[in-house]
Amino acid sequence: MRGVIPDTVAIQPARTRTAIAVLLPLVLLAGVLFVIFRFGPSELLRDPDAPPVEILSVQRALLKSEGIALTVLNESPEPVTIAQVAVDDAFWSFSADGPLTVGRLRRVTLAIPYPWVTGETHHIAILTSTGTKFEHEIAVALKSPEPDARHLLLFAAIGVFVGVIPVALGLLWFPVIKRMGRTGLDAVLAFTIGLLLFLLIDAAAEGLESSAALPGAFHGVALLIASAATAYLALEALGSWLARRRAHLRAEGPPSGWILSLLIAVGIGLHNLGEGLAIGAAFALGEAAFGTLLIVGFTLHNATEGLAIIAPMAKERPSVWTLVKLGLIGGVPTIAGAWIGGLVYSRPFTVFFLGLGVGAIAQVVVLIMRQMARERPLSERLVHAPVMLGLLGGFAVMYLTGVLVG
């Protein structure tokens, strides 16, 4: 016991020195930031006669029976005061759910009791206290959906028709896949890769377009990349955990094809979440005709996703309940996406979810290619005509159905 006490006492100063070494740079950094904000050296370089930089952006325009609700975000480095609102070149009274002096990256919702006309185009102008004007156009005025039971059911029904049913129909091809030989299965896996590559490109392009519409302070591209990396690494970790669990349980664990099918279902589900967002947002923004087109296009688009899910299990005997679970994983997120897009539309959320879809699909493509390369080098498999035709066919099918979406 005597030898333990000196060792314990010696550890304490070492821990204290480590804590000081960790905290000292942070304390000094806090001191530097205090000096910058307290004495403002940047203010000395600013021209006192220069006008302030003001940037306001309309995040959402809701059309209600009592008027227009306009959500405005201040992207400026300094607070901005909203002075007046004009609708169709006429100044209009309005109220706000907060102070009219909006801080940086703060939002305020303006309630404008304007008698908008269904189907008409309305132009809104926001004037700040400095006289700067920011304009927003409502191309086609249609009443916005509200978060009530009726709209929840309607968006849920849209998600079922667009996501759940098409994926379930694709699962019905399982008996056909099961009877195929090795070459046929390679062609189906290549077809799956073609499908997913198109979804990857489509989701990435959509994500970049949505990130460009974000205010600069949100760093849309960085948000897209970060969410994609998160999904990729999360699925890698999930796949590794499932593989270790299968090895630990040995014969009792799930087969490897089921694991790959599960990861494909998760990746497709995250992509379908983005599709639901697009449909819900189209109706929320008053673009009902475009939303209807999206429903038809995505329904055709998703009919082949069930095939992608079941392809890795061609040599196994999954139960009907297993197929049902995989179909729900791939299709149900469309419902959640429609709810989010239609009732609580948010541009940062849209970019984040699209990034998740990009990362998930990329991980699944890599995983399928690894699976195909285990038995034979991938370069040897791809030179076979059925495999090449499957790869190009998968991409072509998704492209042609994507044309319907626009």
Q: Residue 41: inside a domain, yes or no?
A: no
Residues 240 and 326 in one domain: yes
* Residue ending a domain, choose from 89, 111, 138: 138
DSSP, collapsed to helix, strand or coil, labels residue 6 as helix
What pLDDT, in 10s, does the model give residues 68-87? 999 898 888 889 999 999 99
Residues 130 and 172 in one domain: no
Q: Residue 170: inside a domain, yes or no?
A: yes
Q: Which residues have CB under 8 Å from 247's CB, separation 6+?
A: 253
Residues 240 and 381 in one domain: yes
| Whether residue 253 has pLDDT greater than 60 | no
Q: Residue 28: inside a domain, yes or no?
A: no
Q: Alpha-carbon distance 204 to 224, whole Å?
A: 9
Q: Alpha-carbon distance 35 to 26, whole Å?
A: 14
Q: Which two tokens stand for residue 151?
A: 């709209």
Which of these ranges, 12-16, 305-309, 364-368, has the smallest mean pLDDT?
12-16
Task: Identify the sign of the CA torsion 90, 94, 100, 106.
Answer: negative
pTM of the model: 0.70
DSSP assignment string, 385-403: HHHHHHHHHHHHHHHHHHH
Q: How many domains does the chain have?
A: 2
Residues 337 and 372 in one domain: yes
The pLDDT value recorded for residue 128 is 92
Residues 235 and 354 in one domain: yes
Would you place residue 115 in the very low, low, confident or very high pLDDT band (cuts 50, 70, 90)?
A: very high
CATH label of the domain that carries residue 75: 2.60.40.10
The pLDDT value recorded for residue 405 is 58
Residues 206 and 83 in one domain: no
* Residue ending a domain, choose from 138, 159, 182: 138
Residues 273 and 323 in one domain: yes
Q: Residue 178: inside a domain, yes or no?
A: yes
Residues 111 and 204 in one domain: no
Q: Residue 36: inside a domain, yes or no?
A: no
| pLDDT top residue among 102 and 258 | 102
Q: Residue 174: inside a domain, yes or no?
A: yes
* Residue ending a domain, choose from 107, 138, 169: 138
Q: Whose CA is closest to 147, among 353, 280, 339? A: 339
Q: Residue 35: inside a domain, yes or no?
A: no
Q: Alpha-carbon distance 284 to 112, whole Å?
A: 18
Residue ranges making up the domain that contains 69: 56-138
Q: Alpha-carbon distance 4 to 9, whole Å?
A: 9
Mean pLDDT of the chain: 80
Would you place residue 48 in the very low, low, confident or very high pLDDT band (cuts 50, 70, 90)?
A: low
Q: Which residues have CB under 8 Å from 299's CB, separation 6+?
A: 161, 162, 165, 166
Q: Of 7-11, 52-56, 148-152, 330-334, where does the model show the most confidence?
A: 330-334
Residues 125 and 181 in one domain: no
Residues 332 and 218 in one domain: yes
The pLDDT value recorded for residue 176 is 81
Q: Residue 117: inside a domain, yes or no?
A: yes
Residues 339 and 309 in one domain: yes
- Taking a C-beta distance cutoff of 8 angstroms, is the pair 130, 110 a contact? no
Residues 191 and 120 in one domain: no
